[in-house]
Structure 1
Amino acid sequence: MEETVLEILEEICGTDEVRNDLDLDLFENGLLDSLGFIELLLSIQNKLKISIQPTEVTREQVSTPKKIIEYLNSKKGE
């Protein structure tokens, strides 16, 4: 799953920097905005079959690649 998430992020953010630094803040560094966030959620749903509503997560919960992966792992366990 981690590899798929990183591939999705690379595609949406347009850089492999997300793979090199899992603690990179995607919003603060201008790599992800609200539209990109929705695109991320849709890609996760399509590729990983994990549905996340935009209202069920805060920006802080998914601000870095590492946090996104951790959130999805916890979600998968539900």
Structure 2
Amino acid sequence: MENTDKIVDILKDVTGLDNIGDNLDQDLFATGILDSMATVEVLVTLQDNFGIEVPVSEFDRSQWSTINKISDRVKELE
């Protein structure tokens, strides 16, 4: 399974939204899909699934705001 597909599945699990992968450039924060608690859950799940480390102190919302951006960041951190 490609990273993006896995990320979409993680976001579906966390948010409960089935159509989350329809627009990979949709801003997940501006649309209210991700809030603070959901973001932490997504980050922890990404770390567990991809074996990456995302320090909360270095978390920049603008770099993690869309599925495509999340996928790019995961690739950089792998």
Q: TM-score range with shorter-chain normalisation?
A: 0.7 to 0.9
The TM-score, its normalising length taken from structure 2, stands at 0.88
Structure 1 segments, 4+ long, off by >4 Å, are none
Q: Which runs of 5+ in 2 are unaligned?
A: none
20, 24, 27: which one aligns with 2:26: 24
* 1:32, distance to aligned residue in structure 2 (A): 0.3
Identity %: 32
Take 1:17 and 1:23, find their aligned partners in 2: how far apart are those partners? 13
Question: What do residues 23-74 of structure 1 show as CA deviations (whole Å, max 9, x unaligned)?
Answer: 1111111110111111011101111111211221211000011100011111
The TM-score, its normalising length taken from structure 1, stands at 0.88
Q: What number of residue pairs does the alignment pair up?
A: 76
Higher helix share: 1
Take 2:12 and 2:42, find their aligned partners in 1: how far apart are those partners? 11
Q: How much is the aligned-residue C-alpha RMSD, in angstroms?
A: 1.1
